[in-house]
Amino acid sequence: MIKNGHCAGGEEGREAGAEPGGTLCSPEKRRRTVRVWCDGCYDMVHYGHSNQLRQAKEMGDYLIVGVHTDAEISKHKGPPVFTQAERYKMVRAIKWVDEIVEGAPYVTTLETLDKYNCDFCVHGDDITLTVDGKDTYAEVKHEGRYRECKRTQGVSTTDLDNPDYQQHTDNFGKGPKGHSPWTGVSQFLQTSQKIIQFASGKEPQPGDTIIYVAGAFDLFHIGHVDFLETVYKQAERPYVIVGLHFDQEVNRYKGKNYPIMNVHERTLSVLACRYVSEVVIGAPYAVGKDLLDHFKVDLVCHGKTEVFPDKDGSDPYAEPKKRGVFRSLDSSNDLTTDDIVQRIIENRLQFEARNQKKEAKEMAVIEAMKRREEQTEQAAQ
């Protein structure tokens, strides 16, 4: 397999004793494949995780992602919202990931990098600590096999885990200062460049089946992934377009202080999914004639979630049903954003205790780093 004019990663290019990307390519096309390792909990997978993996993939050719078990996460951080099986599948669905390792060790060692023939590991510019307060990347940093990427501003799993940020009871519009009234979690600012980085940029080709789905896709989760995978499998050559409703529209039909994540965040989360070709930002609620004709839609799909009527009480799928291109799909996963919120609320006390301890440990490390810097400066004077 050739990637960008050279041998791609994977076992097909790794015969015994050969360098990565070795014997299957001719000499003129052969160059060493750079294999990159990332690891983490990947709980409540959001666009920040996806952006980290996108940046990591840009540093090499083949990206391997290690995902920790529930037991390891509970030991070092607290109970995850998603099960390990759900988290494995979520990470596999991110389009920059070439391979995942289930049950990866919490502490990243040279042994792990060597086992999977990885040149180095990549992590964000935040601090990751074990239960006893040690840097999980200390060994690989010491040996020069660590690379850092920029952490995505505006979101973290800690924020998403904290119900105080989500304003899900009667506090709509009363979130922390500087937060959108439509979402209690984010200070994320969208740019056109970020959308370009996440988008595939591929136009539909002759012979493609253009499939349209619409919704909120809020707190993008495994239920969404299973649905989009089911949609993707409806055709041999699918081109899946996801219509994302504006925040005000989602709040109209869902209420209860939804959406949790604003339309810009939801856009990136959906674009990062390997089953999605394109996103319509602020799609009309009713799937009407103009939309179907503009995108030359062959098939419109909806899952088993409730279809709320439009503002005038009409069926938003009336036109595709009239044309005979509407299909109701069952992905066999009935998980909803409401269910995710409920999981968080049930674990609230554990999350609060975890986050307090996590912050205390991180502050201790930061203070130690400052003291070392001061001592170094004093010694140099």
Burial 49-82, CB ≥16 within 10 A → b, else e: bbbbbbbbbeebbbbbbbbbbbebbeebbbebbb
- Predicted confidence at residue 347, as pLDDT, reads 72
Q: Does residue 64 sit in helix, strand or coil?
A: strand
Residue 259: cis peptide before it, omega within 30 degrees of 0: yes
Scan for tokens 């789905």, then name that residue.
213
Candidates 258, 252, 184; CA nearest to 217 is 258
Closest-CA residue to 268 (of 214, 218, 334)? 218
CA dihedral 259, 262, 268, 272 (to 10 degrees): -10
Strand, coil or helix: 52: helix
Domains in the chain: boundaries = 1-33, 34-152, 192-337, 347-380
Q: Rounded distance, CA 302 to CA 212, Å? A: 9
Q: What is the pLDDT of residue 289?
A: 98
pTM above 0.85, yes or no: no
Per the listing, tokens 């990866």 go with 104
> So what's the pLDDT on residue 374?
85
Sequence-ordered strand ranges (E) for the chain: 2-3, 6-7, 35-40, 62-67, 99-102, 120-124, 146-149, 209-215, 238-244, 278-281, 299-302, 326-328
Q: Decide if 36 contacts 119 (C-beta within 8 A).
A: yes
In tens digits, the chain (381 residues) has pLDDT values of 334 434 444 443 333 333 333 445 545 445 789 999 999 999 988 899 999 999 999 999 999 999 999 999 988 888 899 999 999 999 999 999 999 999 999 999 999 999 999 999 999 877 777 777 788 999 999 999 999 998 765 555 444 444 434 444 333 333 333 333 333 344 567 788 889 999 988 999 999 999 999 999 999 999 999 999 999 999 999 999 999 999 999 999 998 789 999 999 999 999 999 999 999 999 999 999 999 999 999 999 999 999 999 999 999 999 999 999 999 999 999 999 999 988 888 776 666 666 666 667 667 777 887 888 888 888 887
Closest CA relative to residue 9, chosen from 17, 22, 301, 363:
22
φ/ψ of 328, rounded to 5, equals -90, 125
Residue with tokens 């490390």: 365
Output the CA torsion 173→175→177→179 (10° steps): -80
**Reduced to 3 states, what is the DSSP secondary structure of residue 95?**
coil
Domain 192-337 homologous superfamily, CATH? HUPs (3.40.50.620)
The conformation of residue 273, written as its DSSP 8-state character, comes to B
Residue-level pLDDT at 141:
94
Same fold, 34-152 and 192-337: yes
In this prediction, residue 13 carries a pLDDT of 39
**Alpha helix (H) ranges present in 23-80?**
47-58, 70-76
Given this model, what pLDDT does residue 378 score? 84
pLDDT of residue 351: 61
Distance CA 257, CA 251 (A): 7
Using alpha carbons, list the distances in angstroms from residue 262 to 208, 265, 345: 31, 5, 21
* Topology adopted by domain 34-152: Rossmann fold (3.40.50)
- Cα angle value 35/197/153 (rounded, 5°): 90
Q: How far apart are the first and last CA of the chain?
A: 56
Q: Which residues are within 8 A (CB) of 267 and not within 5 positions of it... i.e. 6 or more apart?
A: 190, 195, 198, 244, 279, 281
Beta bridge partners of 121: 37, 146
